[in-house]
Amino acid sequence: MIIVKLGGSVITDKETLRSFRRLACMRLCKELRAARNDMILVHGAGSFGHILASRAGLQFGVEKGDLKKLKAVAKVHQDVRELNSKVLDCLGKNRMKGFSIPPYTVASFASGKMIDFCPDNFERLMDNNMLPVSFGDVVPDRDITFSICSGDLIMLALAEHFRPEKVIFVADVDGVFDKDPKRYKKAKLIPTISSSNIGDISAGTRNKDVTGAMKNKLTRMIEISRHCENCIILNGNVAGRLKDAIEGKDVPCTKVVA
């Protein structure tokens, strides 16, 4: 089986609050059909999560009784569920039976960390040829009231349990570059990243991102690659790349190894 994450930067416009990129999402869902249901899908929050979460400082947790932050928690949760339902709609229109699994229903959190994870519901859905769909969300937290669970963290928990044959991160760039490719024309794609060359990558900080920029993502991906030999990040804005990668063809991408 494979695990795919549709990053928030491809299915939303990250700069504009709650803007869904329906056409891109529809096309990517069509490409996902190449996996023939042997898959778990995760998606990011993009502008349905990061903008309000960052404005309210939800990445630092919530003091008990902080009404302003609690209101933001409710709104962000509502917004990411709305995004999730848009993704499910695109899947349905492409004849795929998506079923939503919000992270707080399968995992517990303390001090911003996942402290346990129950994969049963994912298994049950796959046994019935359904497609489990999880996503980055705000989650109740034992120590800091609420914290943020990124889609990447769910990916790690899933990879640890399912040991998939392939993990694909769908981004809005070809992979990992030595410099920010959106700012530097001469930025070079790095074909393979491991803990030994992760230092060569510029941090690429996006300040509205509450779950960290590229470097944090890569650290997580290196952890994931300990449970999966084929862990890649590719460009979902180029038609056909996701489908080709699912089918085992060579595509421009960065491979992450332990």
List 3's β-bridge partners, or say none.
Answer: 40, 167
Residue 114 DSSP label: E
Of the candidate spans 18-26, 44-52, 109-117, 250-258, the one that interacts with ligand IPE by CB under 6 A turns out to be: 44-52
Of the candidate spans 65-73, 93-101, 131-139, 186-194, the one that interacts with ligand IPE by CB under 6 A turns out to be: 131-139
Of 41, 46, 91, 223, which lies in the binding site for ligand IPE, with binding defined by CB under 6 A? 46
- Tokens 């991102």 -> residue: 209
Q: How far apart are CA 233 and CA 224, in angstroms?
A: 12
List 169's β-bridge partners, or say none.
Answer: 5, 233
- Among positive and negative, which fits the CA dihedral 148, 152, 158, 161? negative
254 binds ligand IPE (CB under 6 A): no
Of the candidate spans 61-69, 81-89, 92-100, 208-216, the one that interacts with ligand IPE by CB under 6 A turns out to be: 208-216
223 binds ligand IPE (CB under 6 A): no
Interface of this chain with ligand IPE, residues 58 to 77, rule: CB under 6 A:
76
Rounded to 5 degrees, what angle do the CA atoms 26, 224, 61 make? 80
Rounded to 5 degrees, what angle do the CA atoms 29, 33, 39 make? 95
Q: How many CB atoms lie within 10 A of CB 183?
A: 9
Of the candidate spans 103-111, 146-154, 174-182, 234-242, the one that interacts with ligand IPE by CB under 6 A turns out to be: 146-154
Count of residues that interact with ligand IPE, criterion CB under 6 A: 20
Q: Which positions lie near ligand IPE, rule CB under 6 A? A: 7-8, 44-46, 49-50, 53, 76, 80, 136-138, 148, 150-152, 209-211
